[in-house]
Amino acid sequence: MTAEDRAWAADFEPCDICDLCGEVVGDDDLLGALVPDSSAVYGTDPALDGKRVLTACTVDHLAVLVEQYRARPFVAEELWAAKVRRAVAEVAPPVPLSLLAKLSGISEQEALRGIYWHNARAREWRARYGGADRACRGD
């Protein structure tokens, strides 16, 4: 890091944005909540998989966001599909189901159900918007 980089970093105030309105909020004023979300997986902290960190500028905006996620169904197959997708990105194919499950931290049956769920969503998307006729193995 150069002296110029250090000077720039010293002037930088930690901040984030409100997930509802996009307002930039300094870390000292930022509000947050952790909510269930089957679409959320993290490469840096898999222990947070299935949970979404929400940030908001006000209590009212945080309440709206929490209510939105409360209304969203938690679909286990969606979470397993996301875990499989993350694992597949790290290895060269073909990947045996047993290895895929191990890398994903789930059972082979959960990995397979996640793949089926993903392929069903892909078929729905292609039926609606068109596109290549491809699916993951296992379906």
Note the residues at the interface with Zn ion (CB under 5 A): 18, 20-21, 23, 57, 61
Q: How far is the CB of 37 from Zn ion (least distance, A)?
A: 19
State which residue, 57 or 100, has the beta carbon closest to Zn ion: 57
State which residue, 61 or 83, has the beta carbon closest to Zn ion: 61
What is the C-alpha separation between 7 and 17, in angstroms, rounded? 24
Q: Using DSSP, state whether 129 is helix, strand or coil.
A: helix
Closest CA to 51 of 61, 60, 43, 40: 40
Token pair 């250090």 is at which residue? 6
What proportions of the chain, in percent to the nearest 5, are helix, strand and coil? 50, 15, 40
Q: How far is the CB of 56 from Zn ion (least distance, A)?
A: 5
State which residue, 55 or 104, has the beta carbon closest to Zn ion: 55
Q: How far is the CB of 62 from Zn ion (least distance, A)?
A: 8
Q: How far is the CB of 69 from Zn ion (least distance, A)?
A: 15
State which residue, 17 or 48, has the beta carbon closest to Zn ion: 17
What is the C-alpha separation between 31 and 135, in angstroms, rounded? 40
